[in-house]
Amino acid sequence: MTASGTDTRDALLRRMSDYGELPAMGKSVSEVVRMASSEGDSVQELASFLLNDVALTQKVLRLANTVCYRTASGAPVSTITRAIFLLGFETVKTSALAMLLVDGMKGRRGQHVRNELAFALCASVIGREMARRTQFKDAEEAAVAALFKNMGRLVVAAHDHKLYGEIAALSESEGISPALASTRVLGCSFDALAESVLRGWNIPDSIVHSLAPLPAGVLKPARSRSEWMQQVAAFSATLATMLSRRGAAGEPAQRKALLTRFGPALDLDDETLTELLEGVADEAMALTSNSDITFAESEDEEAPAAAAATPVAAAVATAPDPLADLRLEAPGQPAADERHPSGKPVRAREMLMAGAQAISEMIASGAGGLNDLMFLALETVYTGMGFRYATICLRDVQTGLYKSRLALGAATPRLQRGFAYAAAGNKDLFFLSLQNNADLLISDASTMKIASLLPVWHRTMLPEARSFIILPLVVGGTPIGYLYADRDVTAPEGVTPEETAVIKMIKAQVIARISAR
């Protein structure tokens, strides 16, 4: 490591530290990585995370409605919960990570950044497909490892495109590997730089270790999950490079080299490689296109020679955009854009009906537990009616208090902790709703009549609520809970009879599922 290389690396790290979006992106990325599909409430945790980001929610729903993911029934996917159950937890999780990575780098313009992002997304899809073909436990982490395999190159491209071009030019002119070229210029390899970034994001060691370089030559079958993940991350990166080249996936020399190195270790032959390519091509294109990787380029930003110096950059720069012919089809456009001033979607009835259908399918298939079904119902009402905050409260048998069990929206953690109130003794709106099993749909909570019936705890904790609903959950004549949702503005458009009927249907579905326990 030379003194100049160390100075260059340190200057780059300082520049990255000054880029405020990178730490913020790292916090979101580490939060999604932490979520484990083996935990009972992970679906709700992931859904809640996604629903807090409108743009991310729309992208996931748009992806779920593309041709390669479309359900057999052809019905549009309108809720994140249903997308998770249809696509699979790990598919949605990895796709969300990819989209976070893209969004976090969008402030950095340039063809090199676009190339590296496309490479990362493609590699993640390959890693996920490889995870489906192994018996190793928690193999899905391989998709995350593959996504981060080129993190070192990506951050250099994003924060110093001239430095990125210098490394590429050195690699080409002297015929040395990008790892050696980056070490000469940066004072550390791309892999070491990636490790530094990921450790700063608190990414698990199992993923960071899998990014380490493999020995040269033919690889042997892995003796551990850790070694297998390392092989899959490298294989995914190599195959992603092939896919980015025009026709490279079909070139005998390229295929032979890939199978010679990775075939014995990953149990791949020419036939299985062809199957793998068929399985990932459409999905990779859909994910890349859906992530809106359309970075503007300036004429003097990067020289063509630098772009041609690395395999992925050369392939994408010289070949026509492989995504240009992709046409995403999303019948019904599940994320309604047109809204009333209150935030309520104009197509509220259609969105509520799609959610009710998803609930029916969940009940019929037996997929998910009671909590999953209640969360899907909550999400349907929350998104379908455009509420600011929504929660399902259930009665605690020991204390008699109605406590928040599930929640979505603004200030969720704070409000959920505070939702623990009795609905007895005082004839307020909540008491009357529960005792009479009456659904209350309040368009303007500021009127004297309504305000006088609000309990003290509601006026204290939710003073900004201007319109809300209360849907009591009554089983066998006994109130067991309620669904509450509100907005911080009035809703003069009200709730149509058709919308009311669908909301009642959703409530009935939840009660029927609770009664069947």
The pLDDT confidence band at residue 16, using thresholds 50, 70 and 90, is low
Handedness of CA 150, 151, 157, 162 (dihedral sign): negative
Q: Taking 80 as the threshold, does the pLDDT of residue 296 lie above it?
A: no
What pLDDT shows up at residue 162?
A: 84
Work out the average pLDDT over 173-185: 89
Structure tokens at 286: 């859909």
pLDDT (tens digit per residue) in 215-248: 989 999 999 999 999 999 999 998 888 776 644 4
Element (H, E) at 176: none
Residue 109 confidence (pLDDT)? 54
Number of H helices, E strands in the chain: 25, 6
pLDDT for the residue 475: 94
| Band (22; pLDDT cuts 50, 70, 90) | low
Over 90: is that where the pLDDT of 492 sits? yes
What residues contact residue 457 under an 8 Å CB cut-off, 6+ apart? Answer: 421
Question: Is the pLDDT at 318 greater than 60, yes or no?
Answer: no
Q: Among candidates 124, 171, 166, which has minimal Cα distance to 143? A: 124
Cα dihedral sign, 275-276-279-282 = negative
Confirm if 125 and 283 have CB atoms less than 8 A apart.
yes
- Between the CA of residue 53 and those of 100, 192, 350, what are the distances in Å? 10, 32, 22
pLDDT of 5 > 60? The answer is no
Name the helix (H) or strand (E) containing 343: none
Q: pLDDT averaged over the chain?
A: 82
The confidence score (pLDDT) of residue 412 equals: 76
Query: Whole-prediction pTM value?
Result: 0.76
Contact between 153 and 310 (Cβ < 8 Å):
yes
Mean pLDDT across 458-482: 94
pLDDT classification of 326: cutoffs 50, 70, 90: very low
Task: Give the C-alpha separation, 161 to 212, whole Å.
Answer: 24
pLDDT at 286: 77
Spatial separation of the C-alpha atoms in residues 103 and 95, rounded to whole Å: 12
pLDDT at res. 112:
79
Structure tokens at 230: 């390392």
Tens of pLDDT, residues 420-433: 888 766 789 999 99
Task: Please give the pLDDT value at position 289.
Answer: 74
pLDDT greater than 90 at residue 488: yes
Tell me the mean pLDDT in the region 328-352: 73
Question: Which of 33-47, 167-181, 355-369, 385-399 is predicted least confidently?
Answer: 33-47
Tell me the C-alpha distance between 233 and 322, whole Å: 23
| Residue among 143, 129, 145, 137 at smallest CA distance from 205 | 145
What is the reported pLDDT for 110? 64
Domains delineated in the chain: 3-19+109-318 (1.10.3210), 348-515 (3.30.450.40)
Average pLDDT over residues 7-26: 68
Per DSSP, the three-state class of 474 is strand
* pLDDT band, residue 24 (cuts 50/70/90): confident
CA–CA gap between residue 114 and residue 313 (Å, rounded): 9
40 pLDDT tier (thresholds 50, 70, 90): low
d(CA 80, CA 37): 15
Q: How confident is residue 71, by pLDDT bands cut at 50, 70 and 90?
A: low
Sign of CA dihedral 37, 41, 47, 52: negative
From the list 107, 148, 138, 110, the residue with the least C-alpha distance to 20 is: 107
Which positions ≥6 away from 253 have C-beta within 8 Å?
Answer: none
- Is the separation of the CB atoms in 288 and 323 below 8 Å? yes
CA dist., res. 167 & res. 157, Å (int): 10
Helix (H, G, I), strand (E, B) or coil at 301: coil
Instruction: Tell me the average pLDDT across 452-476.
Output: 93
Instruction: Give the pLDDT band (50/70/90) at residue 307.
Output: very low
Read off the pLDDT band of 315 (50, 70, 90).
Answer: very low
Say if CB 156 and CB 296 are below 8 A apart. Answer: no
- For residue 34, the model assigns a pLDDT of 86
The DSSP secondary structure of 380-395, one letter per residue, reads HHHHHTT-SEEEEEEE
pLDDT confidence band for 104 (50 / 70 / 90):
confident
Total number of residues shown for the chain: 517
